[in-house]
Amino acid sequence: MDEFIKLLKPSIDLKNINDIRSVSTLINVASPRILLSTLQIQDRIYFIREGVIRRYSIVDGEENTNWFFSKGDFAISEDSFFLDEASEEYLETTGPSLLIEIKKADYLNLINNSPEFKQLVNRLYKKYISGKREYQRVITNPRINSYDWFATNHKYALNHIKLHHLARFLGITKEYLSKLRSQNR
């Protein structure tokens, strides 16, 4: 776990590593697992050491993938985690994953008492917000090949997700996604 923390924040000191380690649980997930369901309140945050977590909602019986959290990210449903609201989304590992789980009360304590941890989380959150903005720009601009964008910016995730989840995320059909993929080979 120390290597993962240092990967995220190389300059972090031993005291902060020990503080994080003392409230963290390493979870090894062998196959897809739902970590958060609708109507639950997210009471823990997941830092992804290996694997991918998909955030999705179900609308009219169809799963709509809203985001992929990947190696080095943290996974949350913002309204549920930060506002203590019942989640309207699911968080699910897409396959084998290694996660660092921190309960919300411990997370808040670390945020309040560890400036380095707070910097780490702020950096990850800014990366997430920036990624979401870029995603919105890509899917609303028909001149941009959304698959190329995803393949370039989310290479790791691409190898850990199902194609029909990616198609829904990009707002295209599975058939069109297959066509785009074959053009890139």
Q: Has this prediction a pTM greater than 0.75?
A: yes
CATH class of 2-183: mainly beta
The residues spanned by each domain of the chain are 2-183
One pLDDT digit (tens) per residue for the chain, 185 residues? 555 665 556 667 777 778 888 899 999 999 999 999 999 999 999 999 999 999 999 999 999 999 999 998 999 999 999 999 999 999 999 999 999 999 999 999 999 998 888 888 888 899 999 999 999 999 898 888 889 999 999 999 999 999 999 999 998 899 988 888 887 76
- Per the listing, tokens 């945020």 go with 111
The two tokens of residue 11 are 């300059």
Let me know: does 77 contact 26? Beta carbons within 8 Å: no
Let me know: does 149 contact 138? Beta carbons within 8 Å: yes
On the CB side of 159, CA atoms within 13 Å amount to: 7
The dihedrals phi and psi of 97, each to the nearest 5 degrees, come to -145, 155
